[in-house]
Structure 1
Amino acid sequence: MSSPASACLYCQNNDNLHQLMIKITDLDVSQLFLFKEQSYSGRCNLVYNQHGLELFDLNEEQRSAYMGDIAKVGNAINKAFAPSKINYGAYSDTLSHLHMHIVPKYKDGYGFGSVFEMNPQKIYLSDIEYEAVISKIKAHL
């Protein structure tokens, strides 16, 4: 069962969201956020602009635009941080809002070779460090 937009973290754009993520920018059909927990340096979340949809609900044009945004972010993260690999994950059991975790992985870094975890090491940055990460990503969007 789909949760209503009134209960959605992304639609509400409230303190709960801002404690987890920092908005970087709007893209063609989505919003890009930096995850505050940075065990995977440069990890982002790309949130589709409309609530309550599954990937298969998007028409071809919408799906192509969203995948274009995903590719654009992946490319920017790759250029900004040169990870060994980028993982993409669309997990959403309890949150009915299409979003994609874009997770750079580093050969000698945490969790390389396994599925990424939500908040594994509780690594948080200073405001200045967050701004530096965001600036690197924005420079390549």
Structure 2
Amino acid sequence: MTSPLPDCLYCRKDQRLTDLMIEIVPLQVSTLYLFKEQTYRGRCVVAYRDHVNELFELSDAELSLFTQDVARAARAMKTAFNPAKINYGAYSDKLPHLHMHLVPKYVDGPSWGTTFTMMPEPKQLLTDDAYAALIAELRKALA
């Protein structure tokens, strides 16, 4: 039997998703994830709950709630990690599902003053304890 869900890692929440990120918390109309690659300390993704690809596919009310979710997550990142700037990226070229990358940037840190690198090399992967500590800081800031 085939699944009614599209073949999308955000919709299926399968191994492809867990290989890349860790779920932190559901928000109003989306889910906040911690990106496992942590070149940019605290990098997250806010993924919309339903399978759409473009902002204009949302009703005005849904768009407002999604924007509020992104802003709430960014505010929590600022509180938890105190970056100098947060970069926002919504691409979906290869993964057609509405999601926003939230990338904290630090003065004199990687890619300061330029666009962040989507998949930097070498990858900066952390221990389970280090991921848990970042997630705890974000959850505290979201409370």
TM-score by length of 2: 0.93
Matched residues in 1 for 2:96 and 2:119: separation?
20
TM-superposed CA distance for 1:54, in Å, is 1.1
Structure 2 stretches lacking a partner, 5+ long: none
Matched residues in 2 for 1:106 and 1:5: separation?
38
Structure 1 stretches lacking a partner, 5+ long: none
For residue 141 of structure 2, give the secondary structure of its aligned residue in structure 1: coil
Letter in 1 for 2:127: S
1:64-99 deviations in whole A, cap 9, x for unaligned? 000000000000000000001000000111222100
TM-superposed CA distance for 1:129, in Å, is 0.2
Length, aligned pairs only: 138
Matched residues in 1 for 2:94 and 2:135: separation?
28
Contact 1:5–1:52 (Cα < 8 Å) also in 2: no
Root-mean-square deviation (Å)? 1.2
TM superposition outliers: structure 1 runs of 4+ over 3 Å: none
Give % identity.
49
For residue 23 of structure 1, give the secondary structure of its aligned residue in structure 2: strand
1:101-133 deviations in whole A, cap 9, x for unaligned? 000000111111111112213000000000000
2:128 maps to 1:127: yes
For residue 7 of structure 1, give the secondary structure of its aligned residue in structure 2: coil
TM-superposed CA distance for 1:52, in Å, is 2.5
Matched residues in 1 for 2:49 and 2:133: separation?
26
For residue 33 of structure 1, give the secondary structure of its aligned residue in structure 2: strand
Contact 1:39–1:119 (Cα < 8 Å) also in 2: no
Letter in 1 for 2:99: H
Matched residues in 2 for 1:97 and 1:48: separation?
8
